[in-house]
Chain A
Amino acid sequence: MPLPTPFHTRTAQHCTSAQWRNWSGYMAAINYQYTHDFEYYAIRNAAGLIDVTPLYKYEISGPDAANLVDRIITRNAHRCKIGQVLYTPWCDDDGKMVDDGTVQRFSEQRFRITSATPNLWWFQDCAYGMNVDIQDISADLGALALQGPKSRDILREVVKGIDFNKLKFFYLAEGKAGRIPLVVSRTGYTGDLGYELWVERKHAEKLWDMLLDKGQKYGITPAGLNALDISRIEAGLLLLDVDYISSKHALIDARLSSPYEAGLGWAVNLKKKRFIGRSALAREKAAGSVWQFCGLDVSWPEIEALYGKVDLPPLVAGVASRLAVPVYSGSRQVGQATSITFSPILKKYIALATVETGDIMPGSKLSMEITVEFAREQAEATVVKLPFYDPPHKRS
């Protein structure tokens, strides 16, 4: 049975739908309410509060901490300032992605890494011969994402000791909520203005209560995984095991992905002399990648027409679909769409896809498979740059 997170007494109270999913061994609400609509729009219009405790969290400290992190990730850890956060993938020796997550730097010699899957063994292996301490702190630390345009207003009332005017996108600060010490990072998985709060598990419930109390007048709403999933697709953010497969789990080579193929080429720093996977990535960079990651804007008029043929209104899933479907160029399959959703805010049917490189670029017209009344059909899908949704207030 999945475990309760440190916030469970509170999330359970709000989860009137009784819809839970097992997320890394923890109980995570899918929807708190009967549908995810209010929760999704809280993220986009007010503030959604998401229990993200099930993320894996590691603390890396000691004289070689920076060297180790730099060896693992594809970005430059030495250039990560104290108080800065980096989003980054990390790879195996063949330059294939193991995982992706955030690296937080607290001091010269202390980092935290969050990830989607367990990485202790991998990090320890990479640390061979280094003077460094690696702790799995996943169970000790509660984590909440407060995401949405009103998130800052709420934190200003709850958290003392942090100047939120100065806390920039992808930076962190330490402060206090009442007497509770916590770390606030300006990060998230929604592509909106938002923060993540990291707190010792014994303070978790108290922090939740304070946020809900002060947040009420700003429309704070506990939000579940369905709302989060739609938001992250709109933001063009990858999900491991959905949009790519960790090289540690891939059963065949065809299932491996490099950061270049996953749209994370910008996060590969080949100027770094050494890091795991560097030479393979340098070769790929020179030779060009086979795959590219992109957004698809699937034609709603075509979907309407396809459903119209069987006399139905468009009955596409209201929640994000993780069932991958083929993507075609003409009659030839050129890739697959792995995350698909109707975007409520853009009023578009959108997908994250991996397609061949070469001629395919933003503006290219492909088609995506869609099942209409048990029949396989195709709807026109235009390749677009990610993210789909990028509001100015995200960085404001």
Chain B
Amino acid sequence: MAERYDAIVIGGGHNGLVNAAYLARAGKKVLVLEQRHLVGGATVTEELYPGFKYSVFSYVISLMRPEIIRELNLPGHGLTILPLESTLTPLQNGEYLYRGSDPHETRRNIARFSPRDADAYQDYGHTLFFMAKAVKYMLGIVPPDPTSLHPKDMLGLAALGKYLTGLREDDIYNLTKLMTMSAVDFLEQWFETDVLKATLSASGIIGTFLGPRSPGTAYVLLHHYMGELDGNFRAWGFAKGGTGAIAEAIASSARAFGAKIRTEAKVSELLVKNNSVRGIVLDNGDEIFADTIVSSLDPWQTFLNLPPNGSMPEELLTDIRKFKFKGSSAKVNLALDALPQFNCKPENSNFLRGAISISPSLDYLEQAYDDAKYGDFSRRPYMDIIIPSMIDPDMAPPGKHVMSCFVQYAPYHLREGNWEDKREALGDAVVNTLAEYMPNIKDIILHRQVVTPLDIEERIGLSQGNIFQGELSLSQLFFLRPAAGWAKYRTPLKNYYQCGSGTHPGGGIMGAPGRLAAMEILKDGGH
């Protein structure tokens, strides 16, 4: 007899797994199909060099929803989030900017550049708190559709309106400005110090094909701040065992609820009859049937590749084709024989347990962006670096280290040549840049993995290597994610749903799309 399930979830990234866990928790018979040999998608840990564990793609956890951690009992399934509390921005001349958990120490550090900025920094944090709070509310709800007259949407909008009107006037003003502003314009309201503005604006460009002065980057900056709001819950930090441990914990929870997870099972097409999905076909030709099919893949895969031709309305396909991916990020993972030595000597010796940001000035970031605008990778890229083995000693053999470098910009479309040929050149550019701050770096590299945007696309199916399954720009957020009218996890095909980062509220290790989609599916009832 053919295999049958209540629901099949396509893709075993963290959102697919969250979705499956919630469906299984509600008593559904669920099967997850993952093309790779391991689950996790962009959240995987792999030992590519003996004894050294890489968080191959994503590397820090910042937005994971507390309700998911609790409802799926992820701590009970092995999830431990270790603190990651400081950011060091080294400068070439041996100077540095250090921000840590002690506000007084941070203040002293900023004051070395500008006493005025040192004070403004506290006000900045205060304002960001209120704005992030406003946006955080939206993370937890299914976006109401403003073009709809459905009573539920009207109620949803009313609730949202009421919520927003509950905000202070200043905050609404700041919030609306923030949605369209550039990170730099936003930051210049507070700060004059170049390196401070550069480092803060960097979180506004992560995952985008935009520079710090491009409109819309202020929102991305806020998106990255949201994890700060959960009080002691602090879903922010480094997952013990690397980001793969997050996927493993969710998978373990899903299995405990009865879900089945199958790896090395690539879905090639949906089975559709009478405008309703009935199952899927694997690339080996096997057919598996289910009442509900959920895709955790990005909108291109979900709408363009998986459904059979002619099964989706043309105008939606047009919208989806316009959805911006434009991957711009790469990852370089290093196995190190010893710790890197820095030109600068921060007074707080714990800085190696925090993030290291290569963002010495705004011009530096703009320059990096300029290279990419013209179709080349940045010769001296922006980097967000952590040394996981300093936080979790199990990531490397004793005394040895792993280093994770998130690199921007590395455009998916190169003007000349292809990524196969340019991969190691990108790796060299990264190492040369590192060497400007860590002179011993070249002597201690035991192994290097360069992950290009093409690798991201080919290995985990993120179109054009966009790390968020589509840019987090204003035209692609909230009720527009992934397309107007289809932001509530449903699709024009009956019983076919979406639950990946390409849906509201977007990318990052957050789990919110997976959970919200499961709630909608369960609401739709029988299936």
Contacts and interface: CB of A to CB of B under 8 A. Distances in A.
Q: Which residue, of B105, B231, B232, B233, has the highest number of chain A Cβ atoms within 10 A?
A: B232
A45 B240 contact: yes
A28 to B, nearest CB: 21
A45 B85 contact: no
Contact of B102 (A34, A41, A300): A34
B393 A35 contact: no
Nearest to B399: A217
A150 interface: yes
A37 B101 contact: yes
A345 B232 contact: no
B75 interface: yes
B512 interface: no
A35 B101 CA distance: 7
Interface string A86-126: 00000000000000000000000000000000000000000
A83 interface: no
B242 to A, nearest CB: 13
Contacts of A44: 80
Interface in A232-254: none
A344 B85 CA distance: 15
B393 A150 contact: yes
B487 interface: no
Interface stretch (A66-74, A202-210, A308-316, A364-372): A308-316
Nearest to A157: B398
Contact of B393 (A218, A300, A342): A218
A41 B83 contact: yes
B232 A314 contact: yes
Interface residues of B, number: 32
Given A33-B350, A150-B393, A300-B70, A38 B83 contact: yes
Contact of A300 (B100, B233, B350, B398): B233
A38 B105 CA distance: 17
Contacts of B76: 346
Contact of B232 (A34, A219, A301, A316): A316
A38 B351 CA distance: 12
B105 A217 contact: no
Q: Which residue, of A35, A313, A314, A346, has the highest number of chain B Cβ atoms within 10 A?
A: A313
Given A150-B393, A217-B399, A313 B75 contact: no
B363 interface: no
Contacts of A153: 398
B123 interface: no
Contact of A37 (B70, B85, B166, B233): B85
A264 B229 CA distance: 40
Interface string A42-53: 001110000000
Contacts of B287: none
A153 B392 CA distance: 15
B231 A315 contact: yes
Interface in A190-240: 217-219
A133 B240 CA distance: 50
Nearest to A300: B70
A318 interface: yes
Contacts of B85: 35, 37
Nearest to A40: B83
A34 B105 contact: yes
Given A34-B102, A45-B392, A314 B82 contact: no
Given A217-B393, A346-B75, A318 B232 contact: yes
Interface in A344-362: 344-348
B83 A316 contact: no
Nearest to A44: B80
Interface string B208-239: 00000000000000000000011111100000
Nearest to A345: B80
A314 B398 CA distance: 38
B353 interface: yes
B66 interface: yes
Contacts of A307: 231
A46 B70 contact: no
Contacts of A41: 82-83
B18 interface: no
Interface in B480-518: none
A304 to B, nearest CB: 8
A318 B232 CA distance: 6
Contact of A314 (B75, B102, B233, B399): B233
A153 B398 CA distance: 10
Interface string A25-41: 00000000111011001
A345 B237 CA distance: 12
Contact of A45 (B67, B80, B229, B230): B80
A348 B66 CA distance: 11
A345 B102 CA distance: 22
Contacts of B24: none
B75 A46 contact: no
Contacts of A318: 232
B232 A342 contact: yes
Interface in B253-301: none
B82 A45 contact: yes
Interface in B375-414: 390, 392-393, 398-399
A301 B350 CA distance: 34
B31 to A, nearest CB: 29
B142 interface: no
B131 interface: no
Contacts of B20: none
B441 interface: no
Contacts of A217: 393, 398-399
Contact of B231 (A38, A316, A344): A316
B337 to A, nearest CB: 12
B83 A37 contact: yes
Contacts of B240: 45
Given A45-B240, A46-B393, A347 B75 contact: yes
B69 interface: yes
Interface string A325-351: 000000000000000001011111000
A34 B100 contact: yes
A12 to B, nearest CB: 16
Contact of A218 (B80, B105, B348, B398): B398
A125 B232 CA distance: 48
A344 B229 CA distance: 15
Q: Which residue, of A150, A219, A342, has the highest number of chain B Cβ atoms within 10 A?
A: A219
Nearest to B389: A219
A207 to B, nearest CB: 20
A85 B229 CA distance: 45
Contacts of A35: 85, 101-102
A219 B395 CA distance: 12
Contacts of A342: 232
Interface in B31-83: 66-67, 69-70, 74-76, 80, 82-83
B398 A347 contact: no
A150 B398 CA distance: 10
B229 A313 contact: yes
B393 A345 contact: no
Nearest to B136: A313
Nearest to A33: B350
Contacts of B133: 313
Nearest to B82: A41
B75 A345 contact: yes
A117 B69 CA distance: 41
Interface of B: 66-67, 69-70, 74-76, 80, 82-83, 85, 100-102, 105, 133, 166, 229-234, 240, 348, 350, 353, 390, 392-393, 398-399
7 contacts: A16-B348, A34-B102, A37-B101, A45-B80, A307-B231, A344-B232, A347-B69
Given A34-B105, A314-B233, 5 more contacts: A37-B85, A45-B240, A218-B393, A307-B231, A313-B133
In the A-B complex, the 10 residue pairs with the closest CB atoms: A34-B102, A217-B399, A314-B231, A217-B398, A219-B393, A37-B83, A313-B231, A342-B232, A346-B75, A46-B393
